[in-house]
């Protein structure tokens, strides 16, 4: 009995699950990178510490309660929205942007002195107000990487004038440019990078400097740094000229990479160029007429090009050649046959994704539709094509190749009520070319 009495003092009451009453079911949701989770067609915020993690979600008395899945502890609660598409945020869940900016400004002040830091931050804020915090972060990383190389900074309350290096850093031009990417240091700082780095120790390696450039997302400079340095040393260029060479190299490589990517996305079936087009065989269109299109005013003005003619007269060659030149000029182009386009739209309509598919096609500056009119269309295909043409009207440019004149479009549409509004939208702002002559393919076959 005495043993039981001693043991009883250390015991705790035990509640069975039945005695706890009905349990509220708890589901889980993943918090995205913006700190939001989805619940019944609405989005609710969670503390940023749970970014990319899953949290428990339950509803009690019109309140959405978020819990930690491991501890079961409540981490947030929101008023349950009755609508759809609403984003409900709790400001306490996000980092204090003002405090983060203040910390970055203080860190820059510690690196180059409070007076110089204040002036530099004021300059960055004046030139890049919308991405001020990101620019501060990039400049802090850059200065921290070269902190041992800067001249001694003045104290907070000193009246000693700033060093020459700091003066050069802060005397920025009013006009400036940005390297692509909001986390890259802007042109003003990039121009002064060689001046900051000119006191680098002799034992620093190219790999270390290249790594720093990769840290600010200047990957092409990092890749070609050795060759650029050799060329600069051979030509004895100035620091400012070398800074210009670095930025020009980065921009050129990025532009070339973008053009290569856009050409792959264009999906041209063959590599045809306008320089290869035989104007002596195809005399119904002149080289001057084609060259007048290569300023791409028709794309900027959302106009269309229509090439009409029998098979083998060069319609597709001209369409692909103009599309290739448009890609080289920086435009986004997509080539597709009419049959492939109709099938793609019909499949999207079956999946209930027709609107999303049309929106994806609207992202291209120029859509090339080849061989329209060669095959008849069913009722749903006609409806889908009209939806696309209507969405592109006065918003994007289209190049169409067809073997039928507009008056005969009712034949393959099987419905003038659909053909007329499609033709009306295509020819309202368009350049129409009627091609004729003998088929180039038949001519080549006879010559063999």
2 lies in a domain? no
Instruction: Tell me the average pLDDT across 411-438.
Output: 82
Q: DSSP assignment, residue 20?
A: G
29 lies in a domain? yes
Domain boundary among 61, 77, 93: 93
Are 58 and 107 in the same domain? no
What are the pLDDT digits (tens) for 303-317?
A: 999 999 988 888 999
**Partner residues linked to 37 by β-bridges:** 44
Are 318 and 255 in the same domain? no
Domain extent at residue 77: 20-93
pLDDT at residue 222 in the model:
87
Task: Mean pLDDT check: name the lowest of 171-185, 229-243, 327-341.
Answer: 171-185
What are the pLDDT digits (tens) for 332-373?
A: 999 999 999 999 999 999 999 999 999 999 999 999 999 888
The domain total for the chain is 3
Rounded CA-CA distance 307/427 in Å is: 12
**Measured in whole angstroms, how far is the alpha carbon of residue 368 from the centre of its chain?**
23
Are 45 and 169 in the same domain? no
Using 50, 70 and 90 to split pLDDT, how confident is the model at 170? Answer: very low
Are 149 and 208 in the same domain? yes
Domain boundary among 232, 259, 286: 259
What are the pLDDT digits (tens) for 243-254?
A: 888 888 888 888
Task: Mean pLDDT check: name the lowest of 153-162, 345-354, 425-434.
Answer: 153-162
pLDDT at residue 10 in the model:
62
Instruction: Tell me the average pLDDT across 196-203.
Output: 45
Rounded CA-CA distance 308/322 in Å is: 16
Cα end-to-end span (Å), the chain: 116
Rounded CA-CA distance 239/235 in Å is: 12
Counted residue by residue, the chain has a size of 448
Are 54 and 120 in the same domain? no
The answer to whether the beta carbons of residues 163 and 223 sit under 8 Å apart is: no
Counting Cα atoms < 13 Å in the Cβ hemisphere of 82 gives: 1
Are 316 and 440 in the same domain? yes
pLDDT at residue 446 in the model:
61
pTM over 0.75: no
Rounded CA-CA distance 368/331 in Å is: 13
4 lies in a domain? no
The answer to whether the beta carbons of residues 196 and 150 sit under 8 Å apart is: yes
* Measured torsion, CA atoms of residues 18, 24, 25, 26, in degrees rounded to the nearest 10: -120
Rounded CA-CA distance 191/177 in Å is: 10
Are 141 and 244 in the same domain? yes
| Three-class secondary structure of residue 324 per DSSP | helix
Are 367 and 414 in the same domain? yes
144 lies in a domain? yes
Are 101 and 214 in the same domain? yes
Rounded CA-CA distance 212/205 in Å is: 11
Using 50, 70 and 90 to split pLDDT, how confident is the model at 172? Answer: very low
Instruction: Tell me the average pLDDT across 18-22.
Output: 50
Q: What is the largest CA-CA distance in the chain?
A: 118
The answer to whether the beta carbons of residues 228 and 245 sit under 8 Å apart is: yes
266 lies in a domain? no
382 lies in a domain? yes
Beta-carbon contacts of 396 under 8 Å, excluding residues fewer than 6 positions away, are 302, 362, 364, 365, 366, 367
Are 322 and 241 in the same domain? no
pLDDT at residue 99 in the model:
82
C-alpha distances out from residue 266 to 75, 149, 273, 327, Å: 48, 48, 14, 8
Q: What is the CATH number of the domain that holds 350?
A: 3.40.50.300
Are 231 and 299 in the same domain? no
What are the pLDDT digits (tens) for 251-273?
A: 888 899 999 999 999 999 999 99
H or E element: which one contains 221? helix 219-235
264 lies in a domain? no
What are the pLDDT digits (tens) for 380-393?
A: 888 898 899 999 99
Mean pLDDT of the chain: 79
15 lies in a domain? no
The answer to whether the beta carbons of residues 367 and 334 sit under 8 Å apart is: yes
Domain boundary among 208, 224, 259: 259
- Report which of residues 128 and 424 the model is more confident about: 424
Are 47 and 110 in the same domain? no
Q: What is the CATH number of the domain that holds 53?
A: 2.40.50
């Amino acid at each position: 009995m005495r043993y039981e009495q001693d043991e009883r003092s250390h015991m705790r009451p035990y509640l069975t699950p039945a005695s706890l009453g009905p349990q509220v079911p708890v589901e889980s949701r993943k918090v995205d990178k913006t700190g939001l989770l989805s619940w019944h067609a609405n989005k609710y915020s969670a503390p940023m510490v749970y970014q990319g993690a899953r949290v428990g979600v339950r509803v009690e008395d019109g309140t959405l309660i978020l819990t930690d899945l491991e501890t079961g502890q409540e981490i947030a609660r929101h008023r349950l929205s009755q609508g759809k598409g609403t984003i409900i945020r709790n400001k306490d869940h996000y980092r204090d942007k003002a405090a983060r900016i203040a910390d970055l400004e203080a860190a820059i002040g510690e690196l180059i002195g409070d007076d110089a830091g204040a002036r530099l931050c004021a300059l960055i804020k004046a030139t890049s107000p919308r991405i001020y915090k990101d620019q501060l972060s990039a400049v802090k990383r850059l200065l921290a990487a070269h902190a041992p190389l800067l001249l001694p900074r003045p104290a907070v309350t000193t009246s000693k004038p700033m060093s020459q290096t700091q003066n050069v850093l802060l005397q920025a031009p009013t006009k400036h440019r940005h390297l692509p990417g909001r986390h890259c240091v802007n042109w003003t700082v990039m121009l002064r990078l060689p001046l900051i780095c000119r006191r680098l120790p002799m034992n620093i390696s190219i790999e270390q400097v290249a790594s720093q450039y990769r840290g600010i997302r200047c990957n092409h400079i990092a890749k070609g740094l050795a060759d650029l340095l050799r060329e600069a040393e051979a030509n004895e260029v100035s620091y400012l000229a070398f800074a210009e060479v670095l930025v020009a190299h980065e921009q050129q490589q990025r532009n070339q990479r973008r053009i290569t990517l856009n050409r792959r996305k264009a999906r041209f079936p063959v590599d045809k160029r306008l320089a290869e087009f035989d104007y002596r065989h195809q005399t119904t269109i002149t080289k001057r007429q084609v060259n007048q299109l290569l300023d791409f005013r028709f794309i900027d003005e959302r106009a269309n090009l229509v090439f009409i003619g029998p098979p083998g007269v060069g319609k597709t060659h001209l369409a692909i050649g103009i599309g290739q030149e448009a890609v080289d000029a920086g435009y986004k182009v997509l080539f597709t046959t009419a049959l492939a386009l109709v099938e793609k739209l019909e499949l999207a309509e079956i999946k209930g994704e027709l609107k999303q598919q049309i929106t994806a096609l609207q992202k291209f500056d120029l859509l090339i539709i080849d061989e329209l009119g060669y095959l008849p269309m069913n009722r749903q295909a006609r409806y889908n094509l009209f939806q696309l043409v209507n969405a592109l009207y006065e918003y994007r440019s289209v190049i169409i190749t067809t073997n039928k004149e507009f008056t005969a479009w009712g034949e393959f549409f099987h419905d003038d009520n659909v053909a007329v509004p499609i033709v009306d939208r295509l020819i309202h702002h368009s350049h129409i070319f009627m091609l004729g002559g003998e088929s180039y393919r038949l001519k080549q076959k006879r010559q063999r």
